[in-house]
Amino acid sequence: MIILNDENFEQEVIQSEIPVMVDFYADWCGPCKMIAPVVEEISGEYEGRVKVCKLNVDEAGQTSAKYRISSIPFIGFFKNGKLADQLVGAVPKETITGKIDLLL
């Protein structure tokens, strides 16, 4: 799992040659903590096919503002440098993997 910030977002996400899932979260967010283990599982299951990253919205204000993140957890699915899909809230693992499978 890759930890993102304003400095490495462009390189890790926008320039990625494989699809990227970004979990936008905050340490104080209860629902974010609920889905954190699911994000970890997905990271292992899709290793090499999808890059799974986490971005703390409190520490990466520029990136959060650019994508207008107003509710978290926000999961962004990026393909070819563009935000291709998104989910908001603590959703089941199957919902997340369904979105990933559409990117592959």
Convert the pLDDT of each residue in 66-99 to its tens digit.
999 999 999 999 999 999 999 999 999 999 999 9
| Marked catalytic residue, from 4, 21, 29, 69 | 29
pLDDT at 56: 98
**Beta carbons of 50 and 21 less than 8 angstroms apart:** yes
Question: Quick one: average pLDDT of 42-65?
Answer: 97
d(CA 98, CA 40): 16
pLDDT at 16: 97
32 is catalytic: yes
- Report the top-level CATH class of 2-103: alpha beta
| Marked catalytic residue, from 4, 20, 21, 32 | 32
Convert the pLDDT of each residue in 3-44 to its tens digit.
999 999 999 999 999 999 999 999 999 999 999 999 999 999
* Domain assignments of the chain as residue spans, ordered by start: 2-103
Sequence-distant (≥ 6) Cβ neighbours of residue 9 within 8 angstroms:
55, 60, 63
**Beta carbons of 76 and 83 less than 8 angstroms apart:** yes
Core vs surface per residue 22-46: b (16+ CB within 10 A) or e? bbbbbeebeebeebbebbeebbeeb
